[in-house]
Structure formats: structure tokens, C-alpha cells
Amino acid sequence: MSGWQPIEKIPQAKPEEFKPAGHVLRSDPAWVEMAKARKNLPLFYRKHPTELQWAQCVFIGMMNTSQWGKKNCRCIHRAASGSHSQLCGYHKKEKTTVMTDTTGETSPKVIATSREPLKTSVEVWAEKNRTIKGSPFSLVDYPYLREIYACEAQRIVLMKACQVGATEMVLNILIHFLKYHPGTTGLYILPSQAEARIFSDMRIAGIFTKASGLTLKSSVNNKSLKQIGESFLLIRGCEVESHAQCIAADIAVWDELDYADQSIARQYRGRLKNSRYAREISIGYPRGTGIKKLFDQSDQRHYMITCPGCLQEFALCCSYFTAIKEEGDDILGRTYRFACPSCNVTWDRREMPGQWKPNKKSEIAGFHLSRMLNLGVTAEQLWKEQTDYNTKKEFFMLTLGLPWEDRNWQLKEDDFDLKLVNARYDLRVAASGTFAGVDQGDALHLYIDDETTDGKRVCVHAEIISGLDCWEQLAQRFRQFGVVGAVIDAQPNKIDAERFCKAQKGLAWWCFYQEETKTGKNVHWKEDIHGVNVDRFYSFDLCMESIVQGKIVLPRSDKLGTLKSHWKNVLREMVEDNEGGTRATWRRLGPDHFWHALVYCTIARLRRATSGGLVLKRWKDIESKSAEREVNALELLEQDLGEI
């Protein structure tokens, strides 16, 4: 049988061919109509148009209309490819199903000659046989798991957050495999034997109930070993080397791989070498390098959805800081909603179908599961989880399903695509109320950004200014973009930097980096000389944290290639100190002038947020006035200072 035909091409059945009392299933609209007239279809099918019923018969399952509702009535699933039929229940002996193939002829096929069930899909089996906390198993809140259930890759890696349905899914896949592959052996491996015993009692023992149709042989039913039909399941810890010996397995699950002894975990992997199945599933929080390393080796699939407003596609699993909008204040109350990172259109995740898309080719299927995918969690609950944990590492690991890369922190090309670049914004030719950072070198590297209504910083201009009149050009850019605050690198031309800052009459400050300021403050302003000392490590961390949280945005432009390369040329790493311990430091990998310009711009914004100084107190009023009068904010500030 080569497949199903479109409705209009299926030969119509003759009325005398219809036998309502038999077990014959006809695959054409006429049969459905006659079945409706004789009331042999379920009410669910009778309420829908013929075309919809026919589509459901093909893709969901043609219902056996004989003695509907009794024990022996089940549904036959037909794959759209026509490769094989799947039976998801029991049928009486020698029941014949007649289906129409592409030639228009019918060919009888005996589906089952006993009450033993044939192999079914994992999802269908779980929905039919599993209960979770007293309720039937369902993927209503976890639609993103369906593609993973259907994944046929030999090696699967799940880099996950907490409460995303991954553990139940892995158990379903494991038990289903053992049930329908008699004589096989499965391994479920946890970090320790104590955890394995607890997991066996709390999660695995509850699966084997009368309702599930699974039974265990009492002679081998214990915490570490269970027999499922002719197959065996071993639940082991990953702390004793001898436990990984003398075992031959066909499928293995590594749960919380990062907490396990990696050398013993590799020995367990060797237990699969002689199996013709050799299926591996690794699952866990990205705590260290174990699960993250495997995910990096995989095809790195992310759950992509398309905004109905702007039709831009983005990874929902990586959009925590950009797709959750916080509005309001502490006085009037705050509200939270899910919205498109580009066009800001509010949307309901249940109405946003998505699909998993890989970043590269690999034999390993890797999936990133964050709590953004769980439809049972609201935007407010997700946003407030930032304060539920003691450290950012726990928040990133348990909510975002991402490692907190404290040891090595460096921007990659994927970070620009997933976090930084937003097609909603463009570079500008003029602006007002902006902030700037300037780094010196052979030329001046200027970075200017503006603040959006939702609190994000968007780059509006970036430029390399060279020539003998570079400082005059810089002053012109300040007027052109209405810069109201700037910090400028004091080296190597300190005299020129000081002269420029004085000419700006309180708008610009020259800056020196220090490993630690003498006052003990991360940022120390020197009002009398228009200077500022900044802790280099603190300022770099501050900028990178803002990028990770989605607070800094770049417009989609080909003119920012140099800026991106400079931002990627700084690396945060851990080095050994003189006392044998470790400390974090930032290292330069190449030209990084625009990174320093971003840092200086960030410091300028800190100046606005602090208190003290007549110029500082009037910045906000000056910005609003410049917007109302459509004049340059710098000119207003000069008038203000003249009045002072």
C-alpha cells in the first residue's frame, strides 16, 4: 500500500458495499456519509463536515465503528507517508481491515490475530496508559515535546531547565522501548546510588499500575532492577566503578549528567557497544561542562516561533529577557506580558505553533528546554523567578536552562543573532537626549545609544573619527545626536581629552581605568576636573551582564561589522593567583576599541542615575524640552549653565 489519496480522487463506494455490522473500514467520503446516516460513527465525528472527518481518519485515526465504546474497539493510525499502520489497542482475532490504495483497489490485511498489542508511538501509548498525579497524561502544556517524542536519533541530548516535562518524557521513551523490544535491557543512571533508590520509589514504581497495562515479576522487582515482560530495567548510581561492569544494555539514560562522575559515566556508555540499538539519552541542568559540552557537539536545536505581527522568527527558548515585557511601577502596580521582541505585539504562546530547528549538522540531536516553553507558567511567574534563587547561576540553570559561564565569558556570533540584533530598530542620522562613549587610539571610536520606552538601550550611531580635526568632528556629532552625557578615554591624548571635556561644560568626563579605585568605589567622580576613575573589572562585568539580560540592542545594519568584531575580542576567564587560588580577569583578544566605547557610554548613564551636581539634576528636564522644541539638547544645557 503506497499511501493515501486526496479526497477528490478516491473512488466512491456503492451503497450495497457498506456493511454496518462488520469490522470493514472503507476509506472514502461516501462510506463516512453512510456511516453517519446509520449512526455507526461516534458523535464527535458526526458533528463535523465530511472533509474534516476524512482528514481526521487519515491523520488521527480511522475509528472502528463496530460496537463503538466497547472494550474491543480501538483506532488504527495510519502514517501520512503510508509506510505502515499502527494499532493502539486490542482487536479480536482475525479482524480484517480493508483500505483503498492509490490504484483504487482494495487489499485486505489481517492486522492482528491475537490480543497482543503491536508497537505504538510513544506519545499515543503514554496518553492512553499513563497518569500524572492522578490525571491522565497530556501534552497540553508541553506541545514542544511532541517533536522530541518522535525523534529517531540514536543519541539525544536535553539541556533543560526545571519543570519542563523532560523527565517524564524520558521515562516514557525508556519504558515504551523495553515493552515493545522484548529481551532488551535498559539503564537509568543517576549521580549516586542513594538518588537512584529514591528515584526508583518515587518516579518509576508509580508507572507500573493496572491502568497502565504494565506488570512486574515480583521475583526481580526491587529498587535497582525491574523486569518488564521479557526486558529488564536497571536503575544505577554513577559513583561506584564496579556497578558499570558486567552489564550489556540496549538503551541508556543519563540523568543529571553534570553531577555524576564523568569517568564512570563513560564506562556506562561502553555497555552499549554490542547492541544493535545503542540508544543514548543525556538529560540535565547545565551546571558544569558535561551536558553543555554534549549540547555543543549536537545539532543544537532551538524552538522557533514566528510573530503573527511582523512575521519575524525567533527562538522562544532563548527570549526570556526580550519576549517578557514588564510595565508599570511599584505605586500603580506592575504588569507582565509576552510580546514580540521586534514589533512588541502581545501574543498568546498557546496560539503560537513552533518547531525545532537545528543550528548545524550533527548525528547527535540536541534540544534546549527552558521554562519559557512551559505553557503552564505565566509571564509574571517567569519574570519573578529572577529573585527566587540565591545566585544568578541558579537562575540561569533552573529557569533559562543555560549555563552561567562564570569562567569564560565571551560574545559569539550566535549571541548577536539571538540576543543583540533587532530588526525593529535602525541607525539614525540625528537624535536627542542620547549618551556617548569615546575610546582613543589611532582614531576616536564613538558609540552613541538612546533609551527606548521599555528601558532598552539601542545603538543609534557608531563611527571611527580620524584626522587632525577629529575633536572638532566629535563636537559636531555631539550636537547632531543631542548627546547629554559622555565619558571619554583619557589615554593616550590626555591633554586633548581634558580640553574637550572642559569645552563641553559638564556634559563630558575623561576617564581612567583602575583595577580598584583608591576610595573603594567602583566609580569615583572628580567634579572639579571633570574626571572619573572606574574599576575596569566592574565596568566590563556591568556591560556584559546588560547584554546577557537583553538590555542592550543593536539595529540590523551592515555598518556595524567592525563594532561586532571589537565586542567579540574581550574574554572573561579565571586565572590562578599568587596564593594558589583563582580569580576572574578580562583579556583582550584583538582590537576592542568599540567595546571600551560601550563601557564609557554605560558609565555616562551611571552618572545620570546618581545624585548631586546642578548639570546632572537638570538632564531629564533638558531632554524633555529638547524633544518638545525639536532643538538640540546641548544648546539648551548651555543656556541653562549661562543662567546658573
Do the strands 95-100 and 106-112 form a parallel or antiparallel pair, or are they unpaired?
antiparallel
Supply the DSSP symbol for 573. E
Q: Rounded distance, CA 490 to CA 513, Å?
A: 9
Q: Rounded distance, CA 566 to CA 446, Å?
A: 13
Q: Rounded distance, CA 157 to CA 143, Å?
A: 18
Residues of the chain above pLDDT 90, percent: 30
Quote the crossing angle between the two packed helices 470-480 and 633-643, to the nearest 10°: 90
Q: Rounded distance, CA 610 to CA 617, Å?
A: 9
Does the pLDDT value for residue 153 go beyond 60? yes
- Whether cis (ω within 30° of 0) applies to the bond prior to 492 is yes
Backbone dihedral region of 594: left (phi > 0), alpha (psi from -120 to 50 degrees) or beta? alpha
Does the pLDDT value for residue 38 go beyond 70? no
Please state the rounded mean pLDDT for residues 583-606: 91
What type of residue is 365? A
- Predicted confidence at residue 34, as pLDDT, reads 57
HEC string for 143-158: HHHHHHHCCCCCEEEE
Best CATH choice for the domain 122-297 from the list 1.10.645.10, 3.40.50.700, 3.40.50.300, 3.50.50.60: 3.40.50.300
Supply the DSSP symbol for 216. B
Q: Rounded distance, CA 526 to CA 532, Å?
A: 6
- Predicted confidence at residue 428, as pLDDT, reads 92
Does the pLDDT value for residue 515 go beyond 50? yes
Out of 49-53, 100-104, 524-528, 622-626, least confident range: 100-104
Please state the rounded mean pLDDT for residues 513-520: 62
What digits encode the pLDDT tens for the residues 75-111?
Answer: 333 322 333 333 233 233 333 333 333 333 333 333 3
Does the pLDDT value for residue 517 go beyond 50? no
Please state the rounded mean pLDDT for residues 150-171: 93
From first CA to last CA, the distance across the chain in angstroms is: 91
Supply the DSSP symbol for 621. H
Q: Rounded distance, CA 152 to CA 201, Å?
A: 29
Out of 159-168, 201-210, 323-332, 521-530, least confident range: 201-210
- Answer whether 635's CB lies under 8 Å from 624's CB: no
CA distances, 386 to each of 101, 391, 396, 531 (Å): 57, 9, 9, 35
Do the strands 444-451 and 434-439 form a parallel or antiparallel pair, or are they unpaired?
antiparallel
* E strand spans, 312-406: 313-315, 324-329, 333-338, 354-357, 364-369
Q: Rounded distance, CA 609 to CA 613, Å?
A: 12
Residue 567: name the closest of 539, 549, 547, 550 by CA: 547
Residue 31: name the closest of 48, 1, 10, 4 by CA: 10
Supply the DSSP symbol for 4. P
Supply the DSSP symbol for 5. P
CA distances, 158 to each of 136, 152, 279, 458, 469 (Å): 24, 14, 14, 34, 56
- Predicted confidence at residue 570, as pLDDT, reads 92
- Predicted confidence at residue 205, as pLDDT, reads 79
Q: Rounded distance, CA 343 to CA 307, Å?
A: 9
Q: Kindly compute the dihedral angle of the four CA atoms of residues 215, 219, 224, 225, in this order, to the nearest 10 degrees.
A: -60
Please state the rounded mean pLDDT for residues 556-564: 90
Q: Rounded distance, CA 598 to CA 589, Å?
A: 17
Q: Rounded distance, CA 84 to CA 448, Å?
A: 61
- Predicted confidence at residue 215, as pLDDT, reads 59
Residue 632: name the closest of 642, 641, 640, 622 by CA: 622
- Predicted confidence at residue 483, as pLDDT, reads 93
Out of 156-165, 304-313, 366-375, least confident range: 304-313
Would you place residue 523 in the very low, low, confident or very high pLDDT band (cuts 50, 70, 90)? confident
Please state the rounded mean pLDDT for residues 377-405: 84
- Predicted confidence at residue 290, as pLDDT, reads 83
Q: Rounded distance, CA 411 to CA 241, Å?
A: 39
Q: Rounded distance, CA 162 to CA 140, Å?
A: 18
Return the C-alpha cell found at 201.
Answer: 520509589
Q: Which helix (H) or strand (E) holds 134?
A: none
What digits encode the pLDDT tens for the residues 276-288?
Answer: 899 999 999 987 6
Does the pLDDT value for residue 572 go beyond 50? yes
Out of 199-203, 382-386, 514-518, least confident range: 514-518
**Residue indicated by cell numbers 522484548:** 182
Q: 420-643, what's its fold?
A: Nucleotidyltransferase; domain 5 (3.30.420)
Domain parsing of the chain, residue ranges: 7-112, 122-297, 302-357+370-404, 420-643
Would you place residue 301 in the very low, low, confident or very high pLDDT band (cuts 50, 70, 90)? very high
Does the pLDDT value for residue 559 go beyond 80? yes
Return the C-alpha cell found at 184.
Answer: 532488551
Report the chain's mean pLDDT, rounded to a whole number: 75
Residues of the chain above pLDDT 70, percent: 70
- Predicted confidence at residue 79, as pLDDT, reads 29
What are the helix (H) ranges across 113-202? Answer: 122-129, 146-149, 166-180, 193-199
> Mapping DSSP to helix (H, G, I), strand (E, B) and coil, where does residue 460 land?
strand
